Amino acid sequence: MISIAIVEDNAGVRQNLQRLIEETPGFRCVCACDCGEDALREIPRARPDVVLMDLHLPNLSGIECTARLKELLPDVQVIIVTVYDDTETVFKALRAGACGYLLKRSAPERILAAITEVREGGAPMTSEIARKVVEAFQSAPPPGPADLNLTRRGHEILQRLAQGFANKEIATHLSLSVDTVRWHLKQIYEKLHVRSRTEAAHMFHRAGSPPPGP
Amino acid sequence: MISIAIVEDNAGVRQNLQRLIEETPGFRCVCACDCGEDALREIPRARPDVVLMDLHLPNLSGIECTARLKELLPDVQVIIVTVYDDTETVFKALRAGACGYLLKRSAPERILAAITEVREGGAPMTSEIARKVVEAFQSAPPPGPADLNLTRRGHEILQRLAQGFANKEIATHLSLSVDTVRWHLKQIYEKLHVRSRTEAAHMFHRAGSPPPGP
DNA sequence: CATAAAACCACCCGTTTGGGGGGGTGACAA
DNA sequence: TTGTCACCCCCCCAAACGGGTGGTTTTATG
């Protein structure tokens, strides 16, 4: 008997899922919430094996909710069921701790199969999602070993920036004008596609990690 | 009609695969090699849609072979079919450009389904492999459960700060006021003995080594 | 139950940053 | 020559940030 929780703000969809699960032998729906706040309150009590999680929720996003749930219940298996299929959302969800990702257009049988699959140690994904995930590995090398085409000066500056130095300090260390440092930073931000020093530092810090990370 | 190439050093396995494909309507085997060198010579000529690749090959490894094949034919879809299921091998293969990964114990129908799936933009994987891949995402970002004496909120905020988010974004994500986020940051800075967000991010990013300390 | 600690929100003020201009030099290739 | 590129410097402006002060509510804990 697999116990399941549902987090889905659309009442119709939620009830359909609930019915689907209750009508299937071996499955039981122990909790159905319409927002992340309720989920964080009720799911730890219900202690389900698997959570079906929508991403578009009022207030607290499904991603945030997933992350916090995994903190509270590290063993719970979260399957995202959503309409969003853009790469960023998918990766954020997986990083938050989801171990499955289905699109809402999936057939009911696919959802049931996914629940069984996570229980057996799998990671059910719609095929497009799986492809995105695999491609993330292939595009990992570029940002990894190859610090993107930064100038020598640019690299020196970024390095110190990532160590927490302010522009003024960097300027002093390199015997430059603050404006020059700022000018270089503008170039760097453009190349890294970021808009702030902390984002740039974040890019820098995870340059050289083998697995994924877009 | 999907054209397929096979790279597999074991003659028995290779012939089984070849027979399986030839006997299935809509599938055609245009090339069957027993080593990577032959594969790199013959496959570019045969121009198959999909390649079934073993990893254990004499001389040139299946991973190397995959990487070079993808250089020659960027559009070819490579499915690994092997007995190796260790994490490192899986990641290397995916990084080399494979878009599917099956274990040899897979049923013949699973292999045919996988071929169809890659042609439709999917990434067929054995469920254990899929789980490994997804877990790689999860183990990437949380590399710092080593805590300083920060409050729960403080830790959440610092974590997001270190990921490059601005105060405003952090406030939105956590459903807080910007002023609250700023207030928490003040506390955090004091505890970490830093005076800027980048310094704080720097502290956070190298967390995990508690050598001395009272 | 009381008290402390944490979390939350608000306002002010001066500085730093990001982003937009504008200049100028030297090196190296087309 | 002309072009491109890395590098350096300067100015302006709005937004974001760091730091200080003052509160209220929620939560934990004795």
CA angle A127, A145, B124 (to 5 degrees): 15
The answer to whether the C-beta of A184 is closer than 7 A to strand D is yes
Name the residue closest to the C1' of C7 by its CA. Answer: B153
- Contact criterion met (CB below 8 Å) for A160 and A171: no
Q: What residues of A are in contact with residue B202 (Cβ under 8 Å)?
A: 162-164, 201
**Residue B67 token pair:** 């990487």
> Helices A197-205 and A178-192 sit at what angle, rounded to 10 degrees?
60
d(CA B163, CA B17): 47
pLDDT of residue B97: 92
Helix (H, G, I), strand (E, B) or coil at B103: strand
DSSP state of A76: P
| A71-97 residues labelled b (16+ CB within 10 A) or e (exposed) | eebeebbbbbbbebeeeebbbbbbbbb
Q: A161 burial class (0-12, 13-18, 19+ CB within 10 angstroms)?
A: buried
**What does DSSP assign to residue B121?**
T
Q: How far apart are CA B66 and CA B84, in angstroms?
A: 16
Tokens 């603050």, residue?
A: A178
Cβ pair B164:A198 closer than 8 A: yes
| Contacts A59 to B, Cβ<8 Å | 175
pLDDT at B172: 87
| Best residue of A88, A94, A167, A195 to probe chain B, by most B CBs closer than 10 Å | A94
Using DSSP, state whether B167 is helix, strand or coil. helix
Which residue has 């292939």 as its token pair?
A138
Q: What is the dihedral sign for C-alpha A190, A193, A196, A201?
A: negative
| Amino acid, single-letter form, for residue B145 | P
Answer yes or no: do B123 and A134 touch at CB < 8 A: yes
Cβ separation B123–A138 shorter than 8 A: no
pLDDT score recorded for residue A146: 45
Query: Which residue is listed with tokens 């890019």?
Result: A203
Q: Which of B11, B8, B146 shows the shortest CA–CA distance to B65?
A: B8
Residue of B nearest to A198 (CA): B164
- Distance from residue B174's CA to nucleotide C1's C1', rounded to whole Å: 33
| SS3 label, residue B4 | strand
Residues A204 and A165: beta-carbon distance below 8 Å: no
Which pair of structure tokens corresponds to residue B190? Answer: 């004091």
- Across the interface, which of B133, B173, B196 has its CB nearest the CB of A123? B133
- Cβ contact (<8 Å) for B164 and A140? no
pLDDT at A99: 93
Tell if the CB–CB gap between B198 and A194 is shorter than 8 Å: no
Which is it for strands B77-82 and B50-53: parallel, antiparallel or unpaired? parallel
Weakly modelled stretches of chain B, pLDDT under 50: 141-146, 208-214
Q: Which nt is closest to the CA of B176, judged by C1'?
A: C8
Which domains are delineated in chain A? 2-138 (3.40.50.2300), 145-207 (1.10.10.10)
Q: Which of B103, B132, B134 is best to mutate for the A interface (most A CBs within 10 A)?
A: B134
Of B125, B130, B202, the CB nearest to A162: B202
pLDDT for position A103: 93
What is the per-residue pLDDT for A52?
Answer: 96
C-alpha to C-alpha distances, B103 to A116, B32, B108, B149, nearest whole angstrom: 20, 19, 11, 46
Question: Which residues share a beta bridge with B125?
Answer: B101
Asked whether the CA dihedral A141, A144, A148, A150 is positive or negative, the reply is negative
Among B62, B117, B49, B70, smallest CA distance to B90 is for: B62
Output the pLDDT for position B79: 97
Q: Can you tell me which residue has its alpha carbon closest to the C1' of nucleotide C11?
A: B179
Q: What is the pLDDT along chain A (214 residues), one digit of tens a residue?
A: 999 999 999 999 999 999 999 999 999 999 999 988 889 889 999 999 999 999 888 878 898 899 889 888 889 999 999 998 878 788 889 988 999 999 999 999 999 999 999 999 999 999 999 999 998 877 654 444 445 667 888 888 998 998 889 999 899 988 889 999 999 999 988 888 889 999 999 888 766 433 333 3
* Residue A173: partners with Cβ closer than 8 Å, 6 or more residues away: A160, A165
Rounded Cα–Cα distance for residues B102 and B125 (Å): 5
